A and B are shown apart, each in its own frame.
Chain A
Amino acid sequence: MKFTHSITSLVVASALLSPTSPSFAQNDSHTVTVFAASSLTRVFTTLGSNFQAAHPGVTVRFSFASSTTLATQIKAGAPADIFASADATSMSSVSAQVPHPVDYLVNQVVVAVPKGSRIKKISDLNGGATWLQCAHSVPCGIAADSALKSEGSVTSSPVSLEGSDASAAAKLLSGSVDAAIVYKTDVIANLGKLTAIPFASAVAASTQYQLGISGQSVKSKSHWAQTFFRYLKGHDAEKLLVASGFTLSQ
């Protein structure tokens, strides 16, 4: 029956088109695989291309997602040479794979609103505004929870708990919500469109990023993984990270 065949091919086609999680082939020495918190997408992508331009023949590939998701993947055996986590909790959960992480950056969550919004202070979230934040299990959500708790003035609830700061920021930029609790760096990346309302307690709103190289990459003396790891902590990277709104950890 011809029609059944076309059904079958359609179903097969749809299956092929559905997105799959990143699956990487076995590491070769000229490829560096970096798992990084989604808030680092812009900076790391730029750093990766700069590094590749300076070292022809070397490929740096990234997998960006919430740090919690990345940690789960690393625990399940995903071949990451370098892991940049948006909090210490996710990093410590992979201590078997990434044994000696270092404090890397500090970022803060803020209430981000579109330019010209009627929301001027954090308690304005109560006046019937629709707002969202990250899920309670991912770093930007954990920081948001702690910031809201220290603020104490917000009684309204978010309309959605997003999987990462990137998807929270995207929904704010699309105009579907009035405000989103995202990172300061998300606002700086969209300075023409967004404004940040900071929380009174910068400490409660902060999250400590950590950077680590996998034990496997150290053991196998993977030259380019170690070179890129140093590059991420070097002067060029620092300049770009600071310009993007991150604070460097000393």
Chain B
Amino acid sequence: MRRRRTDPVTRLLAWMAITVIALPIIAIFVKVPWSTFFTSLRGDGSFTAVKLSIWTSLLAGFICLLLGVPLAWWLAKSGDRVTTILRPIVLAPIALPPTVAGLAMLGLLSRTGLLGRPIFKIFNWQMPFTTSAVIFAGIFVGLPFLVLVSESTFRQLPRDVQDAAEIDRATPAQIFRQIAIPQSKSGIVTGLVLAWARILGEFGATMMFAGSLPGTTQTWTMQIYQELNISQDTAYALSLLMVLISVSLIFFLRKPITQAFAS
């Protein structure tokens, strides 16, 4: 099939869009102190924060996968009455400003919070200021992305395959595990990547809810923010590392991502 050419106005606008996105990223490459790149990264606790961010975001992403895929399937199978009420609640964190999300989690889990108070009474422990708060905040902000994309993919599954499986007396659990999940792999992976990227980039809500302590709660993004006050070189070096990770991740997963959105 021959591709149709686009009109000049569309192309102009498209190029403007590309410029808006690409130039700031290019600026990071230009501003990074290449000659001292590695020494500036080796500075105080940079890698501690990077390590903390990576393992907590991976764990939070895995929990999102574990809980989010069943929820997405349930939403995809439910009637309008359930989804009209549930979907806005589940997707709310996408639209919530980080400070509101942080306050919400404090309201629930700090030792004066709704659940936090009884937990503190019984266990003499509260979630804020611990690494588990970083993970919880990650799940809170990441889960909606995974559910959103997975549900959309589940809804596109051809009805007749499921019907055929039902005629062959497949149980609902079998249909979910052996048909729905394998058929929707690209959507689930895309959702997971979006969720993980959101978790890795999380800043405001975590700062409010988990605090900022090197090695325990100070994540990569918080380290960048703090370095801005100390050494801009290190801040740029840490930022570049993050750009490289995000861009290469999207590059390697370009196939499933295109599939999930194009079908």
A66 to B226, CA, bound (A): 11
Write the nearest CB–CB distance from A51 to chain B, whole angstroms: 29
Question: Are A175 and B99 neighbours in the complex by a CB distance under 8 Å?
Answer: no
Question: Are A176 and B112 neighbours in the complex by a CB distance under 8 Å?
Answer: yes
**Chain B residues touching A, range:** 35 or more
Chain A residues with Cβ below 8 Å from B218 are 161
Chain A residues with Cβ below 8 Å from B246 are none
Known: A19-B99, A19-B204, A137-B229. A160 touches B112 (CB 8 A): no
Judged by a CB distance under 8 angstroms, whether A243 is at the interface is: no
Chain B facing A: main interface SS: helix
Judged by a CB distance under 8 angstroms, whether A10 is at the interface is: yes
Bitwise interface map of B from 90 to 104 toward A, beta carbon under 8 Å scored 1, else 0: 010011111100000
Question: Are B112 and A174 neighbours in the complex by a CB distance under 8 Å?
Answer: yes
Q: B5-13, B57-65, B161-169, B205-213: which one contacts chain A?
A: B205-213
Question: Are B211 and A10 neighbours in the complex by a CB distance under 8 Å?
Answer: no
Judged by a CB distance under 8 angstroms, whether A171 is at the interface is: yes
Known: A10-B91, A159-B213. A176 touches B129 (CB 8 A): yes
Question: Are B110 and A162 neighbours in the complex by a CB distance under 8 Å?
Answer: no
Bitwise interface map of A from 161 to 194 toward B, beta carbon under 8 Å scored 1, else 0: 1110001000100111100000000000000000
Bitwise interface map of B from 213 to 248 toward A, beta carbon under 8 Å scored 1, else 0: 110011000000110111010000000000000000
- Select B229's contact among A10, A69, A161, beta carbons within 8 Å: A69
B210 and chain A: residue at smallest CB distance: A160
B residues 91-124 touching A (CB-CB < 8 Å):
91, 94-99, 106, 110-112
B91 and chain A: residue at smallest CB distance: A10
Judged by a CB distance under 8 angstroms, whether B149 is at the interface is: yes
Chain B residues with Cβ below 8 Å from A177 are 129
Chain A residues with Cβ below 8 Å from B261 are 1, 4
Known: A72-B229, A137-B229, A159-B213. A176 touches B128 (CB 8 A): yes
Most buried by A among B211, B213, B218, B225: B211
A14 to B201, CA, bound (A): 14
Judged by a CB distance under 8 angstroms, whether A132 is at the interface is: yes
A4 to B235, CA, bound (A): 35
A14 to B226, CA, bound (A): 24
Chain A residues with Cβ below 8 Å from B211 are 132, 159-162, 171
Bitwise interface map of A from 147 to 164 toward B, beta carbon under 8 Å scored 1, else 0: 000000000001111110
Judged by a CB distance under 8 angstroms, whether B48 is at the interface is: no
Number of interface residues of A (CB under 8 A): 32
Judged by a CB distance under 8 angstroms, whether B126 is at the interface is: yes
Chain B residues with Cβ below 8 Å from A10 are 91, 94-95, 148
Question: Are A68 and B229 neighbours in the complex by a CB distance under 8 Å?
Answer: yes
- Select A160's contact among B91, B126, B217, beta carbons within 8 Å: B217
Question: Are A159 and B207 neighbours in the complex by a CB distance under 8 Å?
Answer: no
Judged by a CB distance under 8 angstroms, whether A63 is at the interface is: no
A137 to B104, CA, bound (A): 28
Judged by a CB distance under 8 angstroms, whether B185 is at the interface is: no
Chain A residues with Cβ below 8 Å from B229 are 66, 68-69, 72, 137-138
Known: A3-B155, A19-B204. A161 touches B213 (CB 8 A): yes
Question: Are A7 and B149 neighbours in the complex by a CB distance under 8 Å?
Answer: yes
Write the nearest CB–CB distance from B68 to chain A, whole angstroms: 15
Bitwise interface map of A from 1 to 26 toward B, beta carbon under 8 Å scored 1, else 0: 10110010011011001110000000
B263 and chain A: residue at smallest CB distance: A1
Judged by a CB distance under 8 angstroms, whether A31 is at the interface is: no
Write the nearest CB–CB distance from A243 to chain B, whole angstroms: 30
Write the nearest CB–CB distance from B97 to chain A, whole angstroms: 5
A159 to B226, CA, bound (A): 17
Judged by a CB distance under 8 angstroms, whether B183 is at the interface is: no
Chain B residues with Cβ below 8 Å from A247 are none
Question: Are B97 and A135 neighbours in the complex by a CB distance under 8 Å?
Answer: no
Write the nearest CB–CB distance from B48 to chain A, whole angstroms: 13
Q: A18-B204, A171-B211 are in contact. List 9 more A-B contacts (CB 8 A).
A: A10-B94, A11-B94, A19-B204, A69-B228, A132-B211, A137-B226, A137-B229, A160-B217, A177-B129
A–B pairs, 22, beta carbons within 8 Å: A1-B263, A3-B152, A3-B155, A7-B152, A10-B94, A13-B95, A14-B94, A14-B96, A17-B95, A18-B97, A19-B97, A19-B98, A68-B229, A72-B229, A132-B211, A137-B229, A138-B229, A160-B211, A161-B212, A161-B213, A167-B208, A176-B112
Chain A to chain B: the 8 pairs with minimum beta-carbon distance, closest first:
A160-B211, A175-B112, A159-B129, A68-B229, A176-B110, A3-B152, A137-B229, A14-B94
